[in-house]
Structures are given as structure tokens and as C-alpha cells.
Chains A and B, each alone.
Chain A
Amino acid sequence: MAKDRPRSFQEVWRRLQDYWAGQGCAVLQPYDMEVGAGTFHPATTLRALGSKPWAAAYVQPSRRPTDGRYGDNPNRLQHYYQFQVLIKPSPPDFQDLYLGSLEAIGIDMALHDIRFVEDDWESPTLGAWGLGWEVWCDGMEVSQFTYFQQVGGHDCHPVSGELTYGLERLAMYVLGIDHVMEMPYNDPDAPIPLSYGDVFRQTEEEFSRFNFDVAETEILFRHFEDAERECEAILAHPAEDPRSGRRIVMAHPAYDQCIKASHIFNLLDARGVISPTERQAYIGRVRALAKKCADAFVATEAGGWSSPDAA
């Protein structure tokens, strides 16, 4: 087991990818849409549904407009990375596999205090919940560890085990860095060494300004409605595709619209134009979309549906 310390941000997530690839996970790439967390990737949300086994790991850029701090805060960012693992059914030694991943990035279990502290996960926008822990390393939360019980209103059977690592925070800890912008992004001895700040300080500034003060709320409200309508319209189509004559339930295209609505809601929230009561209503609307997408997904082959003829 590699106990030598990584030297850069990218080495941390590359080691995680290699480790989980070694455990048999398909290493996927980030989903090509704006999401608030790695969980929104269809490889987690949708694949946690149905009976088919699944194992995937990937880095997912995530956006939380309200967390923007113009690049000044040592560990708060409106754009950051999560590393996500989803295995269905959850393996019996999932905790040990997880601890192996910490060793892989250079955390010595004999010297550090690892704790599993109760933290039940719930996503009101996804209609999802699970039980698990936040994992502490020397008092710092380094991962979220969850056994999914329900997604999109559907009971998960079998249960998926999900891991989410906050990459910046974890890497800062492993590398001994105090301010995220000072973290080496590539190897410090590379011909052109780049820090996290070299890559992201400017975008943090630009997006903080945009998110808090510029994003046009009229347009956003309209986009929200459009995404909501489009999602429902896609799902309203009959399963039978008139062009190909095949049965094609469009769960993923509909889910893209659900992701869009969710992100637009986050932006509106950051703009401070949603009152507490309206907030609940918006969350409920996104959840309704997520549920419909989940219903659609379990009616697809990947979601465990099989043609009555095949039986």
C-alpha cells in the first residue's frame, strides 16, 4: 500500500481513481452539466435504482453558488471537486475498502484518528435518503459514507454504498496546505508548476460576482419553468419510438432537464430572490421531476426493466 505522500492536488484524485479502478470500479468522467454535487451524476442517482449491479467512480466538478467567496476564503469555493464512488450492492467490506483508499492517498492509520460519526444523508431535491456517517480524520470531515435507502421516492433494492470525498479539503489535509489557492495543482517540480489559485482564483472571482449580483433572475425564472416543462414533456412521450419502432423510454434526457432546474434553483437562491416559503415550493418542484425521472428509469433496461416477451 502506498504510504508515501502525494505531492499535488491532481495526484490525490489520480490515486483515488487508480485505487477504485483496482477495486473493480468503472472509472467514469464528470457529467457534462452543472450540478450541485457528485450525487446528481446519473451514474449515481439513476444507477442506484433497479436491480442491476453497478460499480463506478468519478470526479465531478460541483457548483454551489452561495459558497462563493471571490477566491479569498481558505476553503470555501463556489466551484469545487467531489470524488464519487457508487457500488451496488454495497460490498460487505465497504468500510475496509474505503479505509484502503485513505491509505492509498498517504494517510497512515496508525498515526491518524479515523472516526465514523453519525450523519444521515438526505437530498430533498432528489427525494433521496440514506444512513451512514461523515468520516472524520483528526476531527476533520473527509468523506460522506452512505447506504442509499431511497432515491426518487423508490426503495433501493439492492442497496448501493456511496462515498463522496470533498477533494480540495482532503487534498489540503494530505498535502498540509492552509489556503486552497496555494495548493499545488500539478507537481511542484514540473517545468510549469501551477497552483490551485493559478487555475481557479480568477474564475472564483468572476463567478462570485456573477452568482451574487449579475445573474439575471428574470431569465433564470424562465429557464426554470422551461426545464420543468421540457422534463415533463419528454416523459409524456409514449415508450414506443415511431421512427425506430423500438421501445425507448427517455429517462436520461428528462433527467438532464431535472439537473438543469436544480442548478437554476441554486442560482436563484444565491441571488437571494427566493423567500423561505417559496424555497420549499421550488425544492418540491425539483423533487417531483426527480421522482418522474426515477419512475422512467426503472422502466428502462438499465433500470432493471425487461420485456414481457423475454420472460
Chain B
Amino acid sequence: MPDLLIELFSEEIPARMQARAAADLKARMTDALVEAGLTYAGAEAFATPRRLALAVQGLSARSPETRERRRGPRVDAPEKAIEGFLRATGLTLSDLAVEEEKKGRVYVAEVVTPGRDAAEIVAEALEAVIRRFPWPKSMRWGAGDLRWVRPLHAILCILSDEAGAEVVPLEIDGIRAGDVTRGHRFLSPEPFSVTNFEDYEAKLKRAHVILRPEERADHIRHEATNLAFAAGLELVEDAGLLREVAGLVEWPVPLMGAIGEAFLDLPAEVLRTSMKEHQKFFSVRARSGQITHFVTVANIAAPDGGEAILAGNRKVLAARLSDAKFFWENDLRVAKQAAMRPWIERLETVTFHGRLGSQADRVARIAELAREMAPKVGAEPELAAEAARVAKADLASEMVYEFPELQGRMGRLYAEAAGMREEVAAAAEEHYAPLGPDDDVPEAPVSVAVALADKLDMLTGFWAIDERPTGSRDPFALRRAALGVIRIVLANELRLDLDTWIDMGLLRHKIELNRAAAADGEIDTLEEVLDEIAVRGVFGAALRAVLDARKGDGRAAPEDGPVLRTVGDLVPDLSTDLLAFLHDRLKVHLRGEGVRHDVIDAVLAMPGSDDLWLVVARARALGAVLATEEGENLVQGFKRANNILTQAEEADGVEYSFGAEPKYAEEETEKALFAALDAAEAEIAPALAAEDFERAMAAMAALRGPIDAFFEAVQVNAPNPVLRRNRLNLLSRIRDVCLQVADLRRIEG
């Protein structure tokens, strides 16, 4: 069983592509080998900046011979058909057997495909893999046609066993495979040959190349931590940066340097971001949290201990940080002296989206919405509006222009510098949250108001212009915005009629989008509708009320105006669709918490499903009851009652909801059921009024015994029509009682 070693040696492979490329090399190569009939014991792939390597252990030396019986044409078939069969099988007529079959005598061939040497298969497979390698971007070079991520210089491809190593004969566009590689570009540039993987890895290390990416990363982390520790400091961990840096060096040598005195008063996140983005430096902090040093990772061990390298890096850093300091100081001046007003004005010239206007337009909408929502979240309306107006100001600052990832964070610092109230400053940072599923959710009322307004404006805006996420395409991160709304509402136990806010948001966007096309009076009418929604709750009712009022006052009520008509038609549908989108995200979110999907469906079917807190409270109560035997059986009893009732209603064409009368109750169990329903209703009504769904569900679960006993003893479809009607009406009471927390018909099982 030989081992296979492959190395593809090229000019520097982008760090971000290395891990994927190693995985692709392994998957494609081993797939091709197996496809060709070889087996192997194990395989491992590696990447450095200049090489991709694959080691396959225990590869079969040959693929097995295969035999295949193939039925051919009948013996009396036309000569052409028989010749064709001989060509396809590569046999002569005398090689063929003849067999009796139902339809006659037919030729049968036994086609033997001999096994092939592993070397032959490897050569073929490797050429195919190289020519079709899935690089995110590839290129040609020189006068050739081969494509690779950067020029490919050499191929090492050997099969080795106890007897020694054998080069796999292979040549691709003039590159002939061999057993030779090179070490580090500067420290050990001489070529050397290798005999197997162990030999390869060991010789590479002697030639200043650490083959394994995770070994390079470990080495960097370890050395950098030690450097920091020795100076009484602490390395700021950054896994993404570590991966990237490990992909930039074959022989990592971490070096620590001090950040110039002049830059130490820059905010920590500015230092960290500037050093990471521009220089790929790690940050090192003092016990106070202040970032004072950096670690750069060189690719060589220099005879001067890295002095010259550090000096150069310090100089570059100083130039970079001078820029950052320049931005910071300019920005502070705008914040302190002009309360960020020039930035807020500049947002007018920054496009948010071609159809949704400028950032300033967006800010104005958010401020309006934040003001309106403020009372619902316990915030002071004017403060929420003010916070919204400054929340995006930092987008026009020099620092955020340079480092977009600092948006919000800089806003907070600048708002503080401008002497704004703490709630306003905090909202500048917190209104973007939550960004990820594990991100903290804002809790301060002003931040909550602005965060919700921000996300709802985003959602209703893109819905208004029909830019909804489809499949994997969600360029404006609307799923994230929807999840943000959900998490903010739930974490803060907010009671919001989202329908109202969605309708208002959609209408506000539609007014802006249609301002130019509107006929006389249409925009006025729509703006009145906007105010009315706050009172009436939804768009349709508000529109009707406004039109009626205008007619009553003798004012123009342009119902048939082009804009009013289309907007009137569209808003309710868009609103339903957006709420459904939020419900979908809620399902995903709750499923993550282990809530059953049928439980979610059962509660979403209830009225008030735009109140997400209510939905979740119902779901939790239902879920808790369903986890008990009582609850499980209650659902069975309810379903039985519901089925009998539904069938009877369909058959009779009437609805049995007139109220069952105890006086017609004959059986004891029937009387007991009446009593139990009375007791349950007395318990459930106040529980529902208090939105104590657990108590309501518990009261319902108590019905399980009486319902079971009733069905045990009583025939609902009694011959006596009076008894039958009364019993059906009794079932109707069961249905009414049981449907008060959730639609139990949607519970499975």
C-alpha cells in the first residue's frame, strides 16, 4: 500500500483562500481516486502561502480488474449492429458467447477492464483537478493557458512505499512533476528532494517552513502571548486576524513594539481597528484596558533580532495613526463646536438607496417613528426623536468614512463629546443592535425606540419598493432586521401592535415614493390617514374614516386619484406579507428555543398575532401544558368534540352555538361536564384578562377528566333531537373554551 504526496508550489496564495483550497484539493483528489477504483486509508491537506499539499496514506497500488457481462444484438441482427457491438466492446466475433433468450439467440460479451497502476490514475486525476480547480478567482500568466490562483511553478507528486519513492509521471503545460520542492523564500531558497510525507514535513521545517496552518497559528498565539506577558501586558485575541496572519507567513516570527506616545489617547477601538485593518497587527493592552503595544508577525528570523523590521513597522504605524489622530481631532472639533450639525446636514447628500432617498430622509423618518413609539417603550418622545436625529451623524465623520466598521461606536463617543445626554449618546451605538443572533439587545428605552424605528423603517421601506429577500439573496440584511425587532420586543417584554406600526411605515414610504405622481389633495389625504392609523390601528379603517370625514366637511376626497387607488390597494397586502415575514423569523427564532412548530402555528392563528410578546406568552403556556399528560389528553378530547361537532354542523348546515341548557342534561357525566365548564370559564376569563395563559391553560386541562367521562357514557347523536341539539351545543361550549389561548386544531398527534 503506497502513500501519495502531492505539493502544488506557486506564487503567494491569498490568505483568505488557503483553507478552502486545501479542503478542495483533498475532496476532489480523493473523490477522483475512489471513482477510478482505488481505496485509501486516510488523507490530509495543508496550505502555506506558497504551497498546497496533500498526503494520502495507504493507497491501493492498482485498481482491481473489472468484468462486465454485456448483452448484444440478436445473432440474426443486421451486420452493422453486430459490428457496432464489437467496436464498443473491443472484441472479435469469436470472443462472443451466444445465449438463448425469449426473443431469440443473442450475442453476449464479457468485457474485462484490466486494473490500472495507481501512478497512472493519480496522474490523470491530478491533471483534471488542477485544470478545473474551484479558485474564487484565477488567472493566466506568461504565454500559457493554464489557470491557477497565481503562477504555478512546480508540482511534486510521488508514490512511496518501503522500497522507496517513485515520481508520478505527469506534465501540465510544461510543468513536469518531480520529487523536488523549495523551502522558505528568503531563509532557505535551495531546492531539495523528498521521499515521503514525514521526510517532506521534516525537511520543510529545517528549511524554515511550517506546513500546518494550525501549527503556525498556535505558534503565533503562543509567542505573541508570551511577548505581552513578559512585559506585563495582555494580547487582545482575534481569531479571524490570527487565521489571516497564519496564511501570510511560512515562518512566523512575532515581534512586539510600542505604540507612539502621541497616539495613546486615541480610543481603544480606533487603535485596534486601524492596526488590524491596515497593518494586520494584533493589539496588546495594559491592565487598565488601554492599548499600548502591537504585535506584528514577520516572515523571517532576522540576524538583528527583528530590530530593523520593528523600526519600519513602527514608522508605518505612526503614519497610519497620524491619519487616525487627524480624523479623530477633526471629528471632535465638529462634535464639540457644532454639535455634529455639519454631519447631519451632509447626510442629505449621502444616498441610502436610489428609491428610498438620502440618509437624511431616512433619519427624518426614523426620528418621527421613534417619537411615536417612545411612549410604548417607556421613553420620552422628544428625547427619542433627538437620539434618532444624531444616531447616524457619525456616518459623515472622517473616522467612519475611513473605518466603516466603527459606525455607532464613534457616534457614541462624538455625542458624548458634544455634551449630549447619556441616553442619546448610548442610542447612537446601541440602535444598530442586535447585529448577530448572540449580540446583546438594547434595553435603555431611548435606544430601544431608535433601534425599533431604524429596523421598521428599513423593513417597511424595502417592502414598499418590493425589494424583499428571496432565497439566499438578502442584500439589505432584512432577515437580520426582522430578527432584531423580534428580539428587542421579547427581551424588553414590549406590547406593540406591529400592524399599526407597519401600516404607518409602509404608508410613510408610499407617500414619499408617490409625491410626484399624486393628484390634487391625494397627499393631504394620505397624511391624514397616517395620523388616523394611530387611532384606528390599521390602514383600511383609517382610510375609510378620512374619506368619510372629508366628504362630510365638503373637502375633496380623491378616492379615485391614481395614487390613492394604488396605495389603498397595496398597503394592506404588503402589510400582511411583512407581518408574515416577521412571523417566519419568529418561528425560526422560537424553534431555536425548542418550541414545537405546531405550537407556534396554533398561537399564530389567534387574533392579536402582531403582538409578538402575546404570541410567545401563548406559545410558552401551550407548550408547558402539552408537555403534561393532562394537556396531551385534553387535546385528544377537544379534537374528538370538535370533529363530532364539525361533522354535525356540515351535515345539518347549521351552527350549534346557541348555548347548551343544563336542564336537558340526563346523564351524570353530562351534568358534571356542565359544572366543569362553568368552573373552567369562571377561572379562565379572569386569567385571560390578566394575560395569565398558564393559569388559563391549567383550567382548560382540568376539563380533560369530565370530557373523557362524558364521551365514555354519553351518545352525542342521540335519537331524541332535543337531546342531540343540546349535546352538540355543549360540544360547542367545549370548543369555545378550548380555543381561547391557541387554535388546538393545529396541534399534531
Contact A112 B279 (CB under 8 A): no
Chain B residue, CB-CB nearest to A53: B143
- Confirm or deny: B696 has a beta carbon within 8 angstroms of a beta carbon on chain A: no
Contact A113 B299 (CB under 8 A): yes
Query: In the complex, which residues of chain A have a beta carbon less than 8 angstroms from the beta carbon of B298?
Result: 113
Map CB proximity to A onto B720-746 as digits: 1 under 8 Å, 0 otherwise. 000000000000000000000000000
Chain A residue, CB-CB nearest to B320: A139
CA distance in complex: A264, B349 (Å): 23
- Confirm or deny: A106 has a beta carbon within 8 angstroms of a beta carbon on chain B: no
Query: In the complex, which residues of chain A have a beta carbon less than 8 angstroms from the beta carbon of B15?
Result: 118
Chain B residue, CB-CB nearest to A132: B150
CA distance in complex: A12, B140 (Å): 32
Query: In the complex, which residues of chain A have a beta carbon less than 8 angstroms from the beta carbon of B19?
Result: none
Q: Given A113-B300, A116-B12, are A138 and B308 also a contact pair (CB < 8 Å)?
A: yes
Q: Given A139-B313, A173-B312, are A89 and B12 also a contact pair (CB < 8 Å)?
A: no
Contact of A149 among B140, B142, B186, B319 (CB under 8 A): B140
- In angstroms, how far is the closest chain B Cβ from the Cβ of A265? 19
Contact of A109 among B143, B186, B313, B315 (CB under 8 A): B186
Contact of B142 among A89, A109, A115, A133 (CB under 8 A): A89
Contact of B351 among A116, A137, A140, A277 (CB under 8 A): A277
Q: Given A139-B312, A149-B140, are A115 and B248 also a contact pair (CB < 8 Å)?
A: yes
Q: Given A113-B300, A118-B15, A277-B351, are A149 and B312 also a contact pair (CB < 8 Å)?
A: no
Instruction: Tell me the residues in window 247-280 of chain A with beta carbons closer than 8 Å to chain B beta carbons.
Output: 275-277
Map CB proximity to A onto B130-156 as digits: 1 under 8 Å, 0 otherwise. 000000010111111000011101000
- In angstroms, how far is the closest chain B Cβ from the Cβ of A75? 6
- Confirm or deny: A159 has a beta carbon within 8 angstroms of a beta carbon on chain B: yes
Chain A residue, CB-CB nearest to B253: A113
Q: Given A110-B186, A131-B139, A147-B151, are A74 and B312 also a contact pair (CB < 8 Å)?
A: no
- Confirm or deny: B565 has a beta carbon within 8 angstroms of a beta carbon on chain A: no
Contact of A90 among B141, B299, B309, B322 (CB under 8 A): B141
Q: Given A114-B186, A277-B351, are A139 and B279 also a contact pair (CB < 8 Å)?
A: yes
- Confirm or deny: B296 has a beta carbon within 8 angstroms of a beta carbon on chain A: yes
Contact A111 B303 (CB under 8 A): yes
Map CB proximity to B onto A116-144 as digits: 1 under 8 Å, 0 otherwise. 11101000000000111100011110000
Query: In the complex, which residues of chain B have a beta carbon less than 8 angstroms from the beta carbon of A306?
Result: none
Query: In the complex, which residues of chain B have a beta carbon less than 8 angstroms from the beta carbon of A275?
Result: 349
- Confirm or deny: A245 has a beta carbon within 8 angstroms of a beta carbon on chain B: no
Contact B139 A159 (CB under 8 A): yes
Of A75, A111, A275, the most chain B CB neighbours within 10 A belong to A111
Contact B142 A120 (CB under 8 A): no
- Confirm or deny: A158 has a beta carbon within 8 angstroms of a beta carbon on chain B: yes
Q: Given A91-B142, A147-B141, are A117 and B312 also a contact pair (CB < 8 Å)?
A: no
- Confirm or deny: A202 has a beta carbon within 8 angstroms of a beta carbon on chain B: no
- Confirm or deny: A23 has a beta carbon within 8 angstroms of a beta carbon on chain B: no
Chain B residue, CB-CB nearest to A91: B142
Q: Given A90-B142, A92-B142, A92-B151, are A110 and B302 also a contact pair (CB < 8 Å)?
A: yes
Instruction: Tell me the residues in window 66-111 of chain A with beta carbons closer than 8 Å to chain B beta carbons.
Output: 74-75, 89-92, 95, 109-111
- Confirm or deny: B652 has a beta carbon within 8 angstroms of a beta carbon on chain A: no
Q: Given A92-B142, A131-B150, are A118 and B16 also a contact pair (CB < 8 Å)?
A: yes
Chain A residue, CB-CB nearest to B15: A118
Query: In the complex, which residues of chain B have a beta carbon less than 8 angstroms from the beta carbon of A137?
Result: 312
Contact of B312 among A75, A95, A112 (CB under 8 A): A112
Map CB proximity to A onto B255-283 as digits: 1 under 8 Å, 0 otherwise. 00000000000000000000000010100
Contact of A159 among B12, B142, B313 (CB under 8 A): B142
CA distance in complex: A113, B144 (Å): 31
CA distance in complex: A147, B308 (Å): 31
Map CB proximity to A onto B148-166 as digits: 1 under 8 Å, 0 otherwise. 0111010000000000000
Query: In the complex, which residues of chain A have a beta carbon less than 8 angstroms from the beta carbon of B137?
Result: 120, 131
Chain A residue, CB-CB nearest to B279: A139
- Confirm or deny: B14 has a beta carbon within 8 angstroms of a beta carbon on chain A: yes
Contact A89 B11 (CB under 8 A): no
Map CB proximity to A onto B477-502 as digits: 1 under 8 Å, 0 otherwise. 00000000000000000000000000
- In angstroms, how far is the closest chain A Cβ from the Cβ of B488? 32
- Confirm or deny: B553 has a beta carbon within 8 angstroms of a beta carbon on chain A: no
Of B12, B141, B312, B313, the most chain A CB neighbours within 10 A belong to B141
Contact A113 B139 (CB under 8 A): no
- In angstroms, how far is the closest chain A Cβ from the Cβ of B31? 27
Chain A residue, CB-CB nearest to B187: A110
CA distance in complex: A140, B309 (Å): 10
CA distance in complex: A40, B288 (Å): 51
Contact B299 A158 (CB under 8 A): no
Contact B153 A92 (CB under 8 A): yes
Contact B142 A113 (CB under 8 A): no
Contact B319 A159 (CB under 8 A): no
- Confirm or deny: B317 has a beta carbon within 8 angstroms of a beta carbon on chain A: yes
Contact of A113 among B14, B143, B150, B309 (CB under 8 A): B309
- Confirm or deny: B466 has a beta carbon within 8 angstroms of a beta carbon on chain A: no
Q: Given A111-B308, A116-B12, A277-B351, are A139 and B296 also a contact pair (CB < 8 Å)?
A: yes
Contact B139 A149 (CB under 8 A): yes
Query: In the complex, which residues of chain B have a beta carbon less than 8 angstroms from the beta carbon of A115?
Result: 248-249, 299
Contact A112 B308 (CB under 8 A): yes
Query: In the complex, which residues of chain A have a beta carbon less than 8 angstroms from the beta carbon of B349?
Result: 275
Instruction: Tell me the residues in window 306-336 of chain B with beta carbons closer than 8 Å to chain A beta carbons.
Output: 308-309, 311-313, 315-317, 319, 322
- Confirm or deny: B304 has a beta carbon within 8 angstroms of a beta carbon on chain A: yes
Query: In the complex, which residues of chain A have a beta carbon less than 8 angstroms from the beta carbon of B316?
Result: 138-140
Q: Given A116-B11, A118-B15, A173-B312, are A111 and B142 also a contact pair (CB < 8 Å)?
A: no
- In angstroms, how far is the closest chain A Cβ from the Cβ of B345? 15
- In angstroms, how far is the closest chain B Cβ from the Cβ of A147? 5
Query: In the complex, which residues of chain B have a beta carbon less than 8 angstroms from the beta carbon of A157?
Result: 140, 143
Query: In the complex, which residues of chain B have a beta carbon less than 8 angstroms from the beta carbon of A133?
Result: 12
- In angstroms, how far is the closest chain B Cβ from the Cβ of A133? 6
List the interface of chain B (C-beta within 8 A of A): 11-12, 14-16, 49, 137, 139-144, 149-151, 153, 186, 248-249, 279, 281, 296, 298-300, 302-304, 308-309, 311-313, 315-317, 319, 322, 349, 351
6 contacts between A and B (CB under 8 A): A75-B319, A110-B303, A115-B249, A147-B141, A147-B150, A159-B142
Smallest CB-CB A-B distances: 5 pairs: A138-B312, A118-B14, A116-B12, A158-B143, A139-B313
Additional A-B contact list (11), CB under 8 Å, known A90-B141, A112-B312, A117-B12: A74-B319, A92-B151, A110-B302, A113-B309, A115-B248, A116-B11, A131-B149, A138-B308, A147-B140, A161-B141, A277-B351
